[in-house]
Amino acid sequence: MPYPFGLAPGKDAFSAKMLRQNNTALRDFLHIPTWVYVGTEDVMRDDALRKTPSLDAGQGLHRRARAHTYVDVLNAAASSAGISPRSCLIELTGCDHDVVRAITQNNLAVRVLEARGPRI
């Protein structure tokens, strides 16, 4: 896929080398346990959200949908590489895109610190 959504490989030796290195880095990344936190009400299309027809179609219309897509794609990539999926989506009930509310009403800080313990 071309930039800015990806780095389409070229046909020269340098591009082939970069593709091999990126594949190794991707495999390393897919081994990292990843928790994605999103509010169940984080569905506003505000000015801070990048919006283009291709982003909306590929990732979702809002942050909650995009969080689901991200975790699904990470886990699918891990599975297709023969790696046990290590990504988990955590939805924060009643929370929008307000980090203070996520911390005070949904214990986000505690959840993040606890996630560092047992591996998924």
Query: Is 21 part of a structural domain of the chain?
Result: no
Query: Is 120 part of a structural domain of the chain?
Result: no
Amino acid 9: pLDDT: 58
Our count of domains for the chain comes to 1
For residue 119, pLDDT over 50 is answered with: yes
Amino acid 4: pLDDT: 46
Query: Is 18 part of a structural domain of the chain?
Result: no
Query: Is 22 part of a structural domain of the chain?
Result: no
Query: Is 106 part of a structural domain of the chain?
Result: yes
Question: Whole-angstrom distance between the N-terminal and C-terminal Cα of the chain?
Answer: 31
Query: Is 82 part of a structural domain of the chain?
Result: yes
Q: Which structural domain range is residue 88 located in?
A: 34-115
Query: Is 84 part of a structural domain of the chain?
Result: yes
Query: Is 75 part of a structural domain of the chain?
Result: yes
Q: pLDDT class for 92, splitting at 50, 70, 90?
A: very high
CB-CB neighbours of 69 under 10 Å: 13
Q: Are residues 99 and 39 in contact, defined by beta-carbon separation less than 8 angstroms?
A: no
pTM score above 0.85: no
Amino acid 22: pLDDT: 78
In angstroms, the CA 31 to CA 39 distance is: 25
